[in-house]
Structure 1
Amino acid sequence: MTAEMSTKPKIVGLYGVPASGKSFLLERLKSKLRGEHFRFFEGSEAIASVHRALGIVSGHFSFWPEKEPHPDNLYTPADLNVYTHIIYLDTPAGDVARRCLKDQDRGRLPVSTAHISVWKDYEKTNLRRLCREHGIVVTAVYPTNTLLYDVLPLMHDIRLHSEAKNLARVTQHLDQTLAMVSGDTDLETLLVFDADTTLCDVDTVNLFWEKSYAHIDRECPLSTLSSSSMGYSYTSFRQDAFLYEEDWSDVERVCGEVASQVTVHPEFVALLRVMEETKHVGAVVVACGIRQVWEKVIQREGLSEIVGVLGGERIADGYVVTPEAKAAIVSRAKGHHGLHVCAFGDSPTDLPMLKLANDAVVVVGMEHLRSKSMDTALLTAIDADGFRARQALVPSTASPRLTVDKLPLVDITHQNFIQSIFSRRRKLRVIHATDKNTAKLLMTPTRDAAVAGPDLRRAHHRVGFYLATEYVSEVLGLEKNDIRHVQGHMVDRHQLKDESTTAIVALMRGGEPMAFGVSEAFPRATFIHSQFPDDLEEKLCVITTVFLVDSVINSGISVKEYVDYLRDLDADIRIVVVAGVVQKKAITGILDRLAGDADLSLVALRLSDNEFSGKGATDTGNRLFNTVHSY
């Protein structure tokens, strides 16, 4: 339904039993919502003409004469396909009965208050069911003296809100929250926590509903919606927000009661306490439920100065926290703010953010409390998507998910984990010549479609030699020893630092010509051809520095496989990635995640925004070796 809602016109249906005030409200809305952004209709016949405006239609769900045992449904399948939102006027039955008595000249028959109550219950129950099934957001409003001014904000919000705007507002609130928790300190690491059933065992949404909204529906709206066709979609969370708008009375008291029943796991409290003395690490709690509850919980723990809370369950908040919103928070923290992100979550709705985090921790609670669908979702993510994470048992007596081979254990209270999170981070060192005239000259033949075979290999060789002498030597430094000058006396001889224990790895086949250029600059280094990382195992026994050389780095996945393999062999090995062209997306994504505590540098002739990957005649390897005809 998400994709459909993003493209079809937004149509709001005003529903309610006869004499509930639909026509009166429609006329008052017309007087306030003038201009090209709103269109008004009596009945649904002409609403197909709505384009780039919010259509507002008064409609009838059913007709039920008091003498009849069952109502006649007036809605049609076409109505359910057209409406995106429905506002139900839940006018008191007594008011409706009095209006029917006064309006007999309009053909309205007197109706008892008891019958109107039953009729309204029928309409509300079935409207909610049908709207869930068809992805329509529905809410009830209660006519008061301020009805018009209660409905106007809803209309403006419906017209302006979208999934794209939702993500933009979420990231805007993240920016504001980071400014608050960081103060004047430059953050390096951000801890991102899912709230309910991750930081605690309680589902605060269920608890809030039980305490505050049982008179509307005894089932938590989030669980009702998630089990419908809406699932955990943007529309589902927006529906949840509209349900909360139906009765927001006494919210401070209810939020306080809910917060008082939330106990944050002591393991997380201890972890967050470390932040009080560590200014370069920040934390945010991302709540799909009501933000005020978690603000009170964090405040009670004495952490409100250092832990921010993101959550939006009210229309006035401007956003809702969807799985995609959680992912956007992690992406924004990494890409825009340059932070190393460690994310904690426990359910499938957390997987989008966990996948994007530099470090992902799946929080595993007691078996009767944990998500039933998480095992399957984790297996798919690990086996199909290459997702890598660790699992933390909270409490420690909980049984692991999957196997510890698939999802290794981590103790978040252990000093090793705490140190890995709170130690100062090394940034990926990126050195490139993109804007230099030398680079422009060197890259020209590599981009010329007419250049291939030996000429292109020579061009790549020159690039490798240039990058090695101009940049790699600066990254690693030089060492000197004595050589005899042509005039007979001794002078300093310079070579790459630890050159004799350096390996140049040509990632086959596109990296070979450039690697030969690097080898010419550093002739004492070992030269290795490699198609797969495990080619290297027996060749690096005395090696302290490795150059991974490739012509083009697109996603960075191949480089990641090599870096991970090398670090498994020797965690302290220095790694320098040398390439002709590197996509910027790889730098802010996979390659940046590889930096962390290890020694990793990237040297490139050029950085590129063009995400084109060559195939056939445009593949660099085919051009280098004249194998275009084979494709």
Structure 2
Amino acid sequence: MMKLAIYGVSRAGKDYLINNVIAYLQQTTQLTAIHIQGSKTLNEIAQDMFQKPFKSLEESSKKILREKFTEIVDEKNSEYDLVLVDGHYSFIDGDSYKVVFTEQDENVYDHFFYLDTPSEMIVEFSRKSKGDRKNLDITEGQVRNWKEFEKNELDKICNYHHKELVILDEDTKSSVQFIYYWLDSYSSKLCSQTFANKFYTEYQELLEKPTQIILIDCDKTVSINDGTYDFCEKLGIRKEKLKSVFRNDRYTSYQFFKVWNMYKKQSPIKVEESANQALDNIYLSQNVFEYLRCQKDSVVIGVTSGVFDIWTLVNDKYKIFDVLLGNTSKPELEYLVTPYFKKAIAQRLRDKGKHVVAIGDSMIDIPMLEIANQGYLVAHEKLNKAVESYIARVGCTNIDQLFDVEVSYNLKRCCELEEA
């Protein structure tokens, strides 16, 4: 039984996606699913109870109806394998947003997804809409800002509840496949906390001895370059295709699931050849290599969102890590190394009383760096623009930069501001 909310701005295509999910489950599985339409259902309840449209009611009456709505969701959850609800976090109101997401919404759903349809498509859908015609003059820039606002706010809420906000895209077929996989395999393969507990148990003997654990990203952290691109080039996967999956710095389970689906179609021989080619082109950071060699009393764990096959070969050759975790290209999936996964590993180690040092270079690493006792950014050749934007947005952080190099982030540490 699972209650799943799919959020997104108006005209993102939430209804269309949910209808396709239900059709897929009906055609290919024995699983049952129901779509509860958020706005439509609230209006129906409003007419039944108050003989008025929902939006015309006083806030006290709306609160009653929202509570009634969550009761309906819970009731249907006992009847169906999957309850899907299309939700609105906010509505655009000039240059600001009217938030309609409530405490009831926050607590009723098991998982939160966000349908991040391209802004130009949403504008087109708004212009051509034949139903309730809203946002007819909305621009791509306004849509882009609206989506960023919603994703940032929902991400904060999900983080508070130790959940991942999964970002979907306009690729309906892939999104449907992923939602089915999530429904079928979340507990066993996609729950980061479960894997973090399993990981600690498996390596307990190794992890209990040292007081300090180093968690370190691989591509563009341990190495100057990103071996994933060489790997994909050999497999015939264009760099542009890979970048399009992660466009706008989206690094959730869904994106890594899409990439895994690209990899697993390849023959094992081709994967091995590609990994070896990537190994030949890996350029290790001497600064990082020397830093790790000096940490003699620490356990070093490589945690890469790149390709496990490449970094296994790197580790066989250079003996960098005591343990390596990474995304597989094999047909069977054990876990996905997402930002949320990295954070869960760091949190589990801290919960066990370990002093966690985390090192990374990109937005994929930020949650891990923030939760660690000491989080360090690495910038070998140039600054990561998304990381720069993040630092500007949060204002202050307890992340430091490792190594005194020519390119430096403008890091304003929270502890320094407190002292000031």
Tell me the amino acid that sits aligned with residue 384 of structure 2. Answer: S
| Counterpart in the other structure of 1:162 | 186
Task: Give 1:156 shift.
Answer: 8.0
- Is there any run of 5+ residues in structure 1 with no aligned partner, and where? 15-25, 40-48, 56-83, 85-130, 140-150, 408-556, 569-631
| Counterpart in the other structure of 1:388 | 398
Tell me the amino acid that sits aligned with residue 326 of structure 1. Answer: K
| Counterpart in the other structure of 1:179 | 204
Task: Give 1:355 shift.
Answer: 1.0
> What does residue range 403-482 of structure 1 map to in structure 2 within 5 Å?
406=412
In the aligned structure 2, how far is the partner of 1:293 from the partner of 1:285? 12
1:41-88 deviations in Å (ceiling 9; x for gaps): xxxxxxxx9974489xxxxxxxxxxxxxxxxxxxxxxxxxxxx9xxxx
Does the Cα contact within 8 Å between 1:135 and 1:235 map onto a contact in 2?
no
Q: Is residue 344 of structure 1 aligned with residue 359 of structure 2? A: yes
Aligned partner of 1:331 among 341, 347, 367: 347
Task: Classify the secondary structure of the residue corresponding to 2:174.
Answer: strand
Aligned partner of 1:311 among 326, 331, 335: 326
C-alpha RMSD over aligned residues: 4.4
Does the Cα contact within 8 Å between 2:230 and 2:274 map onto a contact in 1?
no
Does the Cα contact within 8 Å between 1:288 and 1:313 map onto a contact in 2?
no
Task: Give 1:254 shift.
Answer: 1.6
Task: Give 1:273 shift.
Answer: 2.3
| Counterpart in the other structure of 1:402 | 410
In the alignment of these two chains, the number of paired residues is 284
In the aligned structure 1, how far is the partner of 2:388 from the partner of 2:362? 9
Task: Give 1:168 shift.
Answer: 3.1
In the aligned structure 2, how far is the partner of 1:300 from the partner of 1:243? 27
TM-score for both structures, normalised by structure 2: 0.56
Task: Give 1:160 shift.
Answer: 1.9
TM-score for both structures, normalised by structure 1: 0.39
Task: Classify the secondary structure of the residue corresponding to 1:247.
Answer: coil
Distance of aligned partners of 1:339 and 1:136 in 2 relative to their CA distance in 1, 3 Å threshold:
farther
| Counterpart in the other structure of 1:285 | 302
Task: Classify the secondary structure of the residue corresponding to 2:275.
Answer: helix
Q: Is residue 377 of structure 1 aligned with residue 390 of structure 2? A: yes
Task: Give 1:398 shift.
Answer: 2.9
| Counterpart in the other structure of 1:363 | 378
> What does residue range 558-569 of structure 1 map to in structure 2 within 5 Å?
none
In the aligned structure 2, how far is the partner of 1:366 from the partner of 1:374? 14
- Higher RCO structure, 1 or 2 (CA under 8 Å, sep 6+): 2
In the aligned structure 1, how far is the partner of 2:266 from the partner of 2:23? 20
1:100-138 deviations in Å (ceiling 9; x for gaps): xxxxxxxxxxxxxxxxxxxxxxxxxxxxxxx97426462
Aligned partner of 1:226 among 230, 236, 246: 246
Distance of aligned partners of 1:238 and 1:274 in 2 relative to their CA distance in 1, 3 Å threshold:
same
Distance of aligned partners of 1:375 and 1:318 in 2 relative to their CA distance in 1, 3 Å threshold:
same
| Counterpart in the other structure of 2:261 | 242
| Counterpart in the other structure of 1:300 | 317
Does the Cα contact within 8 Å between 1:326 and 1:352 map onto a contact in 2?
yes
Task: Give 1:344 shift.
Answer: 0.8
Task: Give 1:224 shift.
Answer: 0.9
Task: Give 1:397 shift.
Answer: 4.8
Larger radius of gyration: 1
- Is there any run of 5+ residues in structure 2 with no aligned partner, and where? 8-13, 34-75, 84-114, 116-166
Task: Classify the secondary structure of the residue corresponding to 1:284.
Answer: strand
In the aligned structure 2, how far is the partner of 1:162 from the partner of 1:204? 29
In the aligned structure 2, how far is the partner of 1:191 from the partner of 1:218? 31
Q: Is residue 11 of structure 1 aligned with residue 21 of structure 2? A: yes
Does the Cα contact within 8 Å between 2:223 and 2:284 map onto a contact in 1?
yes
More helix by share: 2
